[in-house]
Amino acid sequence: MAGVATAYRLRAGDTGPVQQSPVTCGSACLTVARMLVDPVFASWVRTGAPHPPGSPAGGTQSERFAAYERIVMRRTNSALTGSRHPQPPWPRALGTPPWGARRELELGASTQGTRYEVQAVRQLSREPLQAAFERLVDVVAEGEPGLLYVGNRRLPRHVVLVLPGDGDRVLDVYDPGTGRVDHLRRDTVIEHRLGLSGWQVPWFVVQPTGERRVRLRDRLPALGTARRAGAAVQA
């Protein structure tokens, strides 16, 4: 049907939007994350229609994407989150802080009810870093992406979006610096040779806690019992 927004997906081999300024890699990732869970928002970014109330002006996809990047950065870097919760302010010239990214993911850039945590991984040795990667594989899912902060040995310099892969124990990664979506391999993470926009070293992960899916699993037996009881009454 014409005019109906369709789901937006990214997989390894695809190309997504490119960040529209040198400091909005995190904002670009968070904008793409919102596109992945909100078909109407994704349609507006890509085509300009429908036009959600309050959305910024922009005649092209790049202009709309850039305008929303700026909105995201205001939320992630200000002293108050989008839900008016206090947070440490952060200079926009230094990009997106992990705590601001975490709140943005929880407030609309992931499946409703998903909670996120920030983990520092720069200091981890090989085995703990491997365990951190395996944990990331476990918690990242459709509508529940993660963020990976990467850089050099001294500083984090770039942010990428981690997505579920198509195979077992596999992840995909969207790099806003190039727009490319590639596989994120365990060995490249552990060996500090990521090659994401030229940066090699993992620094921080902003990842789902997994609690939402645990709550859903806990509910399933009760729901099943209720259905069986209903069937017994009808019989």
In the chain, where are the structural domains located?
A: 25-228
Per the structure block, which two tokens stand in for 31?
A: 């904008």
- The alpha carbon torsion through 180, 184, 187, 191 (nearest 10 deg) reads 60
pLDDT of residue 233: 30
Block mean pLDDT (10 aa), the chain, length 235:
74 97 97 97 95 88 97 92 78 94 96 97 97 97 97 97 88 98 96 97 97 63 40 31
- Looking at residue 167, what is its pLDDT? 73
Tell me if 181 sits within 8 A of 174, measured CB to CB. yes
Instruction: Name the pTM for this structure.
Output: 0.87
What does 139-157 look like in DSSP terms, one character per residue? H-BTTB-EEEEEE-SS-EE
Burial class (CB in 10 A: 0-12, 13-18, 19+), 185: middle
Q: Which CATH class is domain 25-228?
A: alpha beta
Q: Measured between alpha carbons, how far is 208 from 146 in angstroms, rounded to an integer?
A: 7
